[in-house]
Structure 1
Amino acid sequence: MSHIAVAIARFDDEAPFVRARSHARDRGLRVLGEWCPFPPSSLPEHYQARAVVWTVAVAGIVGALAFFVLEWWTAYDYPFNSGGRPLFSWQVFIVPATEFLALSGAVGGVIALFVAARLTRLNHPAFDFEEVMHASRDSFVLALACDTDDSANSAMALLADAGATHSRLVEA
């Protein structure tokens, strides 16, 4: 083969799917996609949501600090005598900055979630496969990259040994 092929397989249960995924990673095969009706019980480390949590925290803190600086700047640049209080009345500035912390953290979290879940694409070529269309309802689907004829044969054998109910090789 001079171009890449995709070995795509459908599994009815979670156990054979997880077994095939781990065997493929152990043999050095590149996993192009994994589609499941629910999250598998043994999620790999790249599915961790730590990036989203840190993005929410950083966006919230940066947003609150930026809003606090904006309030401080406007208090001096546009002074307003309100009951004889000093211009930098930080006690009053804390409440709106805290509200903006929550708002900016939520917006940052939604943006991070969309980016981490790769939901910014309107169409993905994987949805042209019939197996992927059924993955959200009743089956587990695994797609492996095959660069040569030998890797295609070994990928198909691996998927069959793991317990795939249906597998095929697609020229990409």
Structure 2
Amino acid sequence: MTVLALAAFPHESAYLRGRHEVVTHEYRLVGEWLPYGSEALGPGPGARGIRAAAIVSGVLGAVGLFALTVWSMAFAYPFNSGGRPLFSWPAYIPAAVEFGAFTAAVGGLIWFFREGRLTRLHDAAFEFAEVARASQDRFVLAVACDGGEDANTVLAILANAGADHTRLVTP
């Protein structure tokens, strides 16, 4: 049966020591809550994904609108105005660029919501008193443990790192 080891740290330095020890001993870090973003941790794993999502959605949006414009102007409804060719692509570029920028912003925003899990209205972690204090003045780690000995070892590691409160929780 899997249990969670919760540890609350009073300072960022103790939190970083505890996080380092958990990662070094190869335990599974389930959650971490901080009162502010820690620059020592670097950008999260979702930061690269947000950029990639914005680039991909922007390029797809621009190419899609350009293709739709070419198809509608040259094939679906050809209209010869003033002897111009049907495929006058320079006129299609500004709209495609603007739409590409718009779809890049929308794609990046959607990916941001997905990575931040902001679409969920309630998380079970909010029931823990430690997590409620994390938005004010605590740093909280949640580590998954498989058994009793494993859980006690994790609690000892976190307490040695400087946690002022540790406990086991069964999800």
The reply to whether TM is greater than 0.5 is: yes
Partner of 1:5 in structure 2?
3
The aligned runs of 1:1-172 (5 Å cut-off) are 3-43=1-41, 47=45, 49-76=47-74, 77-172=76-171
Q: Give me the TM-score of the superposition, normalised by structure 1.
A: 0.93
Letter in 1 for 2:134: A
Aligned length: 170
Task: Report deviation, 1:44.
Answer: 5.8
Q: How far apart in 2 are the matches of 1:100 and 1:137?
A: 41
> What secondary structure does 1:121 align onto?
coil
RMSD, matched Cα = 1.4
**Please, which runs of 5 or more residues in structure 2 have no aligned partner?**
none
Q: How far apart in 1 are the matches of 2:102 and 2:43?
A: 29
Task: Report deviation, 1:31.
Answer: 0.8
* Residue-by-residue CA offset, 1:86-145 (whole Å, 9 max, x unaligned): 111111100100011101101110111111222232221111111111111211100111
Q: Give me the TM-score of the superposition, normalised by structure 2.
A: 0.93
Letter in 2 for 1:28: E
- Identical-residue share of aligned pairs (%): 45
